[in-house]
Structure 1
């Protein structure tokens, strides 16, 4: 039997502790119901997927319906008093309005009080909900179950499945994910939630990182692809769509060539054909590799911060820090350096013509780490591939980017066919 672990919403959420005394209530307003025990929001009887900070903002406004909630109080209760950019606050407010069926123009539910804050103006009624003291939340978002399978060499691979719908497998960057940490963090949890709203979303940690077995082995993209096949088999995925991020495209394209009968479609976000050292004979030394060597083992180090900033120059700052914290915790420096060397020296040019499924490539116009020209090479080399250019400098869009909504919508529509 594979090992299995679960984390409750209480242990995973990063919401402020001070409002937990209000739990076990259903709040009804407009055509919405907010259940603060199950951490769910419904509108018109249908579930609405919201990020943790958006949920916390709505919860704060509902608890204080009819009263002014200042920006300072929002920052204190939703972001724990941390420094947060105006763009992140504005994006959270916009997402909250959208979640409750409101708009910035109509303001029938959430009203802006100029230069002061927000007020929830819809009538709110609440009722206590009886729960068994030790009962688990009913929402599919309430707990994550991590299971294990074995690679060909016997290493344990951690994986988790979220949501219902068409099966989708994620190929993440080598060694940069941790299933447990990303479930706990708001930004990553929102990515998972947005995918799980429409799909049965399968994620796994590469051997050597995250919740998988921490063994040191050379990175080989065919081995990584066979690991992915083992995970898909264990999860009961026969034919499925896939999405790859950054260097995960190397494994995904290798998988597409090895198992053409299993892949129904492939989305590539921030991908590239050739690693950095393969792009030109006189490539300069890899400054990002030096940052890993100098600062990966030290939390909040300036070197690790510089690495994250290179990939996400537009921020928002708090979301970028979240990415930095997770990637540093996902694997030790020696494994990260091996992964970096593997993708720097790799090329998938010989595989492009072998891809048979529909392919959508999404790439930032101003990506400074892996330039748009690499995405154009992918699109030109893969038969029938389509390219969507994202108006951002972030390697992958973060919440708060102007293209965030259209990016998520485009990705979901493609993966679900």
Structure 2
């Protein structure tokens, strides 16, 4: 029996093969042994979906970079996540994440400037205040669900940046979780995942339609105002385009930021790593990058070939879908020494957690500053971390995430 067949014997199966689009693989299984075998034996391979759909799976770092960098060969305008396979994305050409250069570049530039590292650093203490509020109950001596707190963290940060009312944050968090995990039992709907997803989309777009309409009359320095002021191709961004991009900004923030600290803590509890982070502040930066590599929260990115092309010796026809498995690329043995080891001192760290190329995550600065502040607060304020319950992962093909992680800790200086 081959390595791939051995792994397949305990993973979701589709048409006699491992099913990489089954969300249960990421909540109850382990895709990494599968990806490792694919990197060795078939780094670019065809994956059927149903009777008449499919895509090319890309598992190696260099191939992932080639696909994500070259928007002339691999477009994002037909869709960027595998759940949309077989239908063109209606946001193509209107939403920054689903638009190719040169329009993408012009649409993105004002938002990128507003989210420069210098601009985000000015918000550091505001971020710190929100993070302290979220993790404060950890010191009360009882069981603290770190996973739930982390799911709330990006909304608290993005809520400040978008100037959204705090009373709306819990519902916006719930709706974005449905968008990335409509199959998860915690968020499922009796009428099925598609109904659940469509309903969440309608509510989010309806919410932002109201917010954008109101914000047009009182533009400020928030990210929604930045979008409304954005000019490209001789005109301002329309209200509909602004709404679509508000949705994209919020979803992007809620995907990447919460899961890296979840996976890092799950890995480090019970090891000297936690004390190392507390006693050596110099490890915070490299530790954050390793947490991003290890978690790879954005599990995959979808593109479509714009013309007949070749990738790593494999012929890909125009119009065929290509899926980059980010979690696989981030553990490629050709790029990372001992990739299956969580190394707080890993430098350099060429992870693709934020993508690469023209669609490199515009909010990477926010995520990095948020995570650095979180690590600072968590490991200088608390000690004696202990796991005290089952870690529950998110049932999602798009996001590698943890939703519940019960822990205990005590404040430093307290007995």
Higher strand content, 1 or 2: 1
Higher RCO (CA-CA < 8 Å; seq separation 6+): 2
TM-score range, shorter chain: under 0.3
The normalised TM-score by structure 1 is 0.24
Higher helix content, 1 or 2: 2
The normalised TM-score by structure 2 is 0.24
